[in-house]
Amino acid sequence: QVQLVESGGGLVQAGGSLRLSCVSSGITFSSMTMGWYRQAPGKQRELVATISSIYTTNYADPLKGRFTIRRDNARNTVDLQMNSLKPEDTAVYYCKATRLGADYWGQGTQVTVSS
């Protein structure tokens, strides 16, 4: 059974930082493309960043330079370091694992940035 469990969300002031983590089980983690997505209230879920099995990264353009995605295949985890947070970064952040057209999602972790 595939499980993706996010952690690290919370309340932070604008300008602060948070580090999200996603630990996976039930998948061959090293072969998966891992990603972070977010969904703000009333908006569609959107890409934050992805990292492939060969460590190629991709970021949503507005987030480049503030967010960093990393993976640790030994620990089956993917992290998202978020710096210089803004109120508009407030959303539920989801972890996703993808391979050969199969997608697996975590339950999400809430990030709230106060002004």
Q: What string of pLDDT tens digits covers the 115 residues of the chain?
A: 899 999 999 999 999 999 999 999 998 999 999 999 999 999 999 999 999 999 999 999 999 999 999 999 999 999 999 999 999 999 999 999 999 889 999 999 999 999 9
Query: Which H or E run includes 77?
Result: strand 77-82
Report how far residue 62's alpha carbon sits from residue 35's, in angstroms, rounded to the nearest whole number. 16
**pLDDT for position 83:** 98
Are residues 5 and 109 in contact, defined by beta-carbon separation less than 8 angstroms? no
Cα 27 to Cα 54, 99, 105: the distances in Å are 17, 10, 12
- Determine the pLDDT at residue 1: 87
26 Cβ contact list (under 8 Å, min separation 6): 1, 2, 3
